[in-house]
Structure formats: structure tokens, C-alpha cells
Amino acid sequence: MPVEQNLNIVPFVSVENMMDIVLATGTETFLQELAAYVEEDFRRWELFDKVARIASHSRDGVIELMPASDGRLYAFKYVNGHPKNTRNGRQTVTAFGVLSDVDSGYPLLLSEMTILTALRTAATSAVAARYLAPKGAKTMALIGNGAQSEFQALAFKALLGIENLRLYDIDPSATARCRSNLSHLGLNIIGCRSAEEAVEGAQIITTATADKRNATILTDNMIGPGVHINAVGGDSPGKTELHRDILLRSSIFVEYPPQTRIEGEIQQLPGDSPITEFWKVVTGQATGRQDERQITLFDSVGFATEDFSALRYVYDKLRNGNGFERLDLVADPDEPRDLFGMLLRRKALTAHLNS
């Protein structure tokens, strides 16, 4: 992948740009293409410099930095998680990201990542489910119908062929909104009155709640044999969705153990509890679903390589077209060592223009 020729002019993908790119591509096509990048980078897992996200926790939320590099490109995402924000008309999660050239250290792309994170989370969930969910699954329960829900539904439709969606949220208006948004997109949708009702007949169960607490969205008696659980909402210390007994019955797959053991559902288990790293399933070094009665759990907390994949995908799309703005982000003096002289020349130019 060639580096931008004019490295001081950095492509910037605003929220409007991102929406236009997604709509021009088609949401389901975007998810399918993004999923291919995510899967490719799981196959390259051992090439990456990896670290658990750097988190600053407060009473009401968390602010995190998520870096990763494959030795050629470097990416990081800034992201927050503040469940109380919805009470003030704000998003629970907001994010932006940067993709850079390792050789020069120059940024290649600055992008919004609030929408892109929702898309990459859904794409990653669906990639995992292709390896872990029952073959031919057609029905998914989606518990927690917030900002992530429609993306999850469309990713599972596009990548796994899900046809039936069973929705539940403690806020009925969230379920109504999700149902309305998806009503013309080819899914059979049932709004449910409880989580217990939602999981009836579902081969895949996705939990995507936002409260920053140890919750029990699913209890042990709700989970029958053969189910795949896509646990998305438990993504920080003290924030879980599943009863511990479910974990003890499940084959558990994670992204990056040092991060997941702190933030995921498995924070409820001893530090030496058995888990499987998902990249090993993708590369054939470990087995995913083994039989029809196995309960599989993807303990998804979101990892930096997935953001790397998303930024790499968007950058590759933009290299072949428009859909972005340009920022004069990097200082570019005529003489690299004369940064102060650049200020002086700007001062002289401003004085001339004002004279």
C-alpha cells in the first residue's frame, strides 16, 4: 500500500463523510468487506505489536486509547464509554482514530470512529460466529437494543444468513426504534417482553447492554445446548452480562487474554480458567465448534487490531476515490529543521496581506 505523496495533507473522514461512504457502498456490503479485513488481520495476529487498551476509569465511565501495529502501519483509537450520556442526549460511545506510516511516523488518515466502531464490532461478531455458531442458524436473539443493535443484526444477516430476529430491551422504545429501523431490510422481527422470551428458539444470542455494572442479562436456565452466545456488552472491569454458571458450561473464545481477563465476562473466573484465543481458530491452530450440543461463547470486548483493520479498510477505499476532506495536519517547513522560520514566514505573509 503506497503512502500518501503529500504527507502533510492528511485525509480526514468526518461523520458526514463516513455516512456517505457507508451508504455509497451499501451497509451490508460495507460490513462484508470490513469483515474480510478483520479476518485477514486475525490470520496475521502474530505479526502485530499488541497491548491491552490504556484505560482511564471514572465513576461514570471510561476513556481509552487502543494502539496496534503490524510493523508497516500503526493505528490507534480514542474511545470513551459513558452509559449515563444517553440521559443528556449524548452517545454512550464516541471515538476517532488515526492510521500512520511506521517508516516516517507521518499520519495517513484521521477518521471519525463512532460509526466505524459500531460497524467493526458487528463485523467482528459475525466473523467469530461463522467459526463458532451452529451451522445453518437462522434465528438470533438480540438483548440490548441500543446504538449497536442494528449493526449487529445486519452483520449477522449479511455474513451468516440470519433471517429471524428476536428483540428485547428494558426500554420498550429502544426495541420499537430498532424494529422500525430494520423493518424494510429483509428480517423477520419479533419484539419480546423479556429476555427469557427473546432467547426462545434462538440459535445465536447477542447481548449488547450498556450499564457499567455486574448485571445478569442471561441466567443459566435460559441457555440450552448448542447455542452460540455473542457477549458484546461486558467490556470493562465490573461490567458483565452473563451469570457465572453459563461460563462454566461454555467453550470460551476471546480476542486478547490480558485484556479480556480484566474486562470481559471471564473476569468472573479464576485467572487460569481455560479459554481459547480466537485467532488460533481462524488459523486452524485450535478448534471452534466441535459438536451440535456445545455452547460457544465469544467474550468480545473489542481489541485494537480490529480498529486497525477498520482504519486500513477505510484508507484503502479512499485511495480509489473521494469521500473525505483534507487536513493540513502536519507542519511542513521548507527546511525540515527550520520550524521556527515557518512561523516567521507566516507572520510576514499575514502582515503583507493586512497592509
Do 322 and 221 fall into the same domain?
no
- Residues carrying an active site annotation: 235
For the cut 70, the answer to whether the pLDDT of residue 7 exceeds it is no
pLDDT-derived band at 3 (thresholds 50, 70, 90) equals very low
Do 184 and 35 fall into the same domain?
no
Mean pLDDT of the chain: 92
Residue range 250-289, pLDDT digits in tens: 999 999 999 999 999 999 999 999 999 999 999 999 999 9
Do 169 and 106 fall into the same domain?
no
Do 96 and 22 fall into the same domain?
yes
Do 186 and 246 fall into the same domain?
yes
Do 165 and 190 fall into the same domain?
yes
CATH for 141 = 3.40.50.720
Do 57 and 100 fall into the same domain?
yes
User: Domain ends where: 280, 301, 322?
Assistant: 301
Residue range 328-347, pLDDT digits in tens: 778 878 888 888 888 888 89
Half-sphere exposure of 90 (CA within 13 A, CB side): 11
Tell me whether residue 248 is in a domain: yes
Tell me whether residue 72 is in a domain: yes
For range 320-326, the mean pLDDT = 72
Do 296 and 347 fall into the same domain?
no
Burial of 203 from C-beta contacts in 10 A (0-12 / 13-18 / 19+)? buried
Instruction: Give pLDDT, residue 338.
Output: 86
Instruction: Give pLDDT, residue 9.
Output: 76
Do 197 and 184 fall into the same domain?
yes
Do 199 and 278 fall into the same domain?
yes
What's the domain range around 226? Answer: 134-301
Residue range 91-114, pLDDT digits in tens: 888 999 999 999 999 999 999 999
Count of domains forming the chain: 2
For the cut 50, the answer to whether the pLDDT of residue 247 exceeds it is yes
Tell me whether residue 127 is in a domain: no
Tell me whether residue 126 is in a domain: no
Do 332 and 284 fall into the same domain?
no
Tell me whether residue 4 is in a domain: no
Cα separation, 148 vs 208, in Å, equals: 7
CATH for 54 = 3.30.1780.10
Residue range 213-229, pLDDT digits in tens: 678 899 999 999 999 99
For range 195-218, the mean pLDDT = 89
Instruction: Give pLDDT, residue 5.
Output: 47
Instruction: Give pLDDT, residue 1.
Output: 41
Instruction: Give pLDDT, residue 2.
Output: 42
141 contacts 178 by C-beta, under 8 angstroms: no
Cα separation, 337 vs 257, in Å, equals: 44
Tell me whether residue 44 is in a domain: yes
